[in-house]
Chains A and B, each alone.
Chain A
């Protein structure tokens, strides 16, 4: 095959056939590698394929979106009328804490991860990520962290069923689910004021941190090192670019929360004085450390969404992204500035005039690159041949709704105004417009856009229009009245309120809106299931798209590209379809070498499982439950064992020969 071959080299036969013919090899441990397993179960548990890992991230994220949504609905139902007593104040605290934690760390971040995993190698023309087994470790340690964080709910459920009681050896276990808010402010999260739930929260977040850090390092190496020939940095799809910025944000922002959580854990377990006022500790230190992480975290959530929008709008406007370089540059600027604005969460703590003015100014400055992006998106659709498909509708919704969240953000940036809005429903309205109206709509847009690629099935019917209408109407009905509630003085995190403050009608409307939103999201799941069950084959490029991932088959083969593509231009597939002769995608000749595939491995799963006893042991030891120190040490042992066997077994690998299969 010569390098000028232009057709997409998609082998005709399925590779399932070929894979089962291959025999697994023994690893250096002398054990059979779990390759080519006929058991679907073993295959998915041991997989190192970025596409399967991405699908698992997505499925788990949707599950936790569902859980977090139920928590939100209970909160809203409690607030539907004044002086409601559907749930107790303690339960209410647990619900808003876990709603925030779940949505941020277990729904939106892993949904972003699902897109990173599935798309980045395809978008840059790579066969897999740089470290496939570390990728599996990230997935499974994320699952372990999610289990540890939610373990309190399990205990609460057992307690309600009468199967668990905090007595005898477990007498120290009070306040089973976390209840200190998603930012766990000291001293509320200290041992005096919170129980074992906070320990679950601390250990769970630490484990999730391991998952995020390893994944981010992996993706930076992948993006910098694994690009196909010709895929220069300034030819990369914008989604990949934004993922790169996000990965850098994670590796520099997460250490702050890791250390802060470590200090909090030391305070609770070993009696240190980091946040203990009696011992000289300063609770405000927690706020600084948390928000040095917490504000970049906002951009960690939103930048991938901006990347998705920057892919969808050009495709459905039949125009290249307006100002590609400036969109990327402003994304990077948002990343940099994101580290310099954390104190705007703390305007009311008395930082002093100079600090307040500086952070106020920087916060307003961050609106500039964000505004640049908005204008570039508008410039992209301006004069384009717009197709109102489902992904496009959600992307347009993103631009509009995200802007609304941005406007109230500017209001917060002004410190005197913020002093009035602090801790009121106005803040809730602001960040739900950003997260639901912005990030969530973008993620739904991404789901509608890429599911045909992921599963090879095309959406059927027009349910998506209903999903869009219900979600956009629902979120506006839910969150817009919260602006007024905030300005009327309703504080956030109150489990009930009295009649006569003028809050009752707005709260009723908010609650009705949240049900509309919930119906919209349920319909999205129905639409997804219907697509997977009865969707027509999608074809390789159903949207007439622009970027490299659409040059593969739908769903992509296990090796992604039968031959390494050589990238001629930005928007490689568009250039291939419509560009001049010299701008077609060509493919490298591998001289019959075949494709080297990484072997599956049990070790990432084993090492990650160790995080569960480690996390639970550390937590319950603190509550005085016997033998829990040993459980933690056992967990540490399992992790070490998994990693040691991982090193010894070696990466392995096998060869595939697509052309022979084709012949």
Chain B
């Protein structure tokens, strides 16, 4: 959250002409790619080693997961609208869209909680087999990312009511939250393809 104090005594030039905070987020996302890369490859390696030990198609509900994937994609769309609204300084439109993102994010999390509860009920737990371990840890880490994003956006929503938010100061902060949200969305597309869809080929 940018401070009014820094606005008028900015240290001036930035060599790459790119906001420090935005660059920091890009670096974090680069690093985060490696986090998810490790988790997803662990899952795929164990799937390859034990192709027959467990059949997830009996457990996965493609309808439910497709629905939650669609919801997450749409939340990214709303996030883009929120960023654009903030750039134009339209605070009301920003709030409306951010509320939409939060709502969709919560629906996605709800679907995941339902899915986890359902799977556990069906007998797949963290310690059942390697599939359980890798699946829950990977999708759980993604879920934590979504939850942090939702928490972040809720903070931004309330912050927008304090009157300290304006297009000039806060657009870049919203944009950074947007970068994070889109990244988490993209990771889900990879997980949805490489973990869910691939099982039905």
Residues in chain A within 8 A of chain B (CB atoms): 127, 130-131, 213, 216-218, 220-221, 224-227, 229, 231, 251-256, 258-260, 262-263, 266, 270-274, 279-282, 285, 289, 564, 593-594, 596, 647-648, 650-653, 655
Of A225, A251, A647, the most chain B CB neighbours within 10 A belong to: A225
* A224, B134: Cα distance in complex, Å: 37
- Whether A280 contacts B53 by the Cβ 8 Å rule is yes
Given A130-B24, A273-B130: A285 touches B42 (CB 8 Å cut-off): yes
- Whether A289 contacts B38 by the Cβ 8 Å rule is yes
Given A285-B42, A564-B12: A255 touches B130 (CB 8 Å cut-off): no
* A651, B4: Cα distance in complex, Å: 9
Given A252-B34, A260-B38, A280-B129: A593 touches B9 (CB 8 Å cut-off): yes
- Whether A226 contacts B127 by the Cβ 8 Å rule is no
- Whether A652 contacts B38 by the Cβ 8 Å rule is no
Q: Which of B6, B14, B27, B129 meets A273, CB within 8 Å?
A: B129
- Whether B15 contacts A226 by the Cβ 8 Å rule is yes
Q: Which of B1-48 contact A (CB under 8 A)?
A: 1, 3, 5-6, 9-16, 18, 20, 23-24, 27-28, 30-32, 34-35, 37-39, 42, 45-46
* A47 CB → nearest B CB, Å: 19
* A273 CB → nearest B CB, Å: 5
Residues in chain B within 8 A of chain A (CB atoms): 1, 3, 5-6, 9-16, 18, 20, 23-24, 27-28, 30-32, 34-35, 37-39, 42, 45-46, 49-50, 53, 126-127, 129-130, 132-134, 137, 155
* A274, B10: Cα distance in complex, Å: 49
With a cutoff of 8 Å between Cβ atoms, the chain B residues found around residue A266 in the complex are 126, 133, 137
Q: Can you list 8 pairs linking A and B with CB atoms under 8 Å apart? A: A220-B23, A225-B15, A255-B38, A272-B137, A273-B129, A273-B133, A282-B46, A282-B49
* A147, B12: Cα distance in complex, Å: 39
* B125 CB → nearest A CB, Å: 9
Given contact pairs A274-B42, A274-B130, A596-B11, a sample of 9 additional A-B residue pairs in the complex whose CB atoms are under 8 Å apart? A252-B30, A255-B35, A255-B38, A266-B133, A271-B127, A272-B133, A273-B127, A280-B49, A282-B46
With a cutoff of 8 Å between Cβ atoms, the chain A residues found around residue B49 in the complex are 280, 282
* A586 CB → nearest B CB, Å: 15
Chain A minimum-CB-distance residue to B127: A271
- Whether B137 contacts A221 by the Cβ 8 Å rule is no
With a cutoff of 8 Å between Cβ atoms, the chain A residues found around residue B16 in the complex are 224-225
With a cutoff of 8 Å between Cβ atoms, the chain A residues found around residue B39 in the complex are 259
* B162 CB → nearest A CB, Å: 10
Chain B minimum-CB-distance residue to A28: B3
Chain B minimum-CB-distance residue to A231: B15
With a cutoff of 8 Å between Cβ atoms, the chain B residues found around residue A130 in the complex are 20, 24
- Whether A270 contacts B27 by the Cβ 8 Å rule is no
- Whether A279 contacts B20 by the Cβ 8 Å rule is no
- Whether A221 contacts B27 by the Cβ 8 Å rule is yes
* A254 CB → nearest B CB, Å: 7
- Whether A651 contacts B46 by the Cβ 8 Å rule is no
With a cutoff of 8 Å between Cβ atoms, the chain A residues found around residue B126 in the complex are 266, 270-272
* A321 CB → nearest B CB, Å: 22
With a cutoff of 8 Å between Cβ atoms, the chain A residues found around residue B27 in the complex are 216-217, 220-221, 251
* A272, B28: Cα distance in complex, Å: 28
Given A259-B42, A653-B9: A274 touches B133 (CB 8 Å cut-off): yes
Q: Which 10 A-B pairs have the closest CB atoms?
A: A255-B34, A272-B133, A596-B9, A650-B3, A271-B127, A259-B38, A251-B31, A255-B35, A227-B15, A217-B27
- Whether B23 contacts A131 by the Cβ 8 Å rule is no
- Whether A221 contacts B133 by the Cβ 8 Å rule is no
Chain A minimum-CB-distance residue to B45: A285
Q: Which of B31, B130, B137 meets A279, CB within 8 Å?
A: B130
Q: Which of A226, A253, A262, A289 meets B137, CB within 8 Å?
A: A262
* A134, B62: Cα distance in complex, Å: 42
With a cutoff of 8 Å between Cβ atoms, the chain B residues found around residue A282 in the complex are 46, 49
* A134 CB → nearest B CB, Å: 8
Q: Which of A251, A253, A255, A280 meets B50, CB within 8 Å?
A: A280
With a cutoff of 8 Å between Cβ atoms, the chain B residues found around residue A647 in the complex are 1, 155
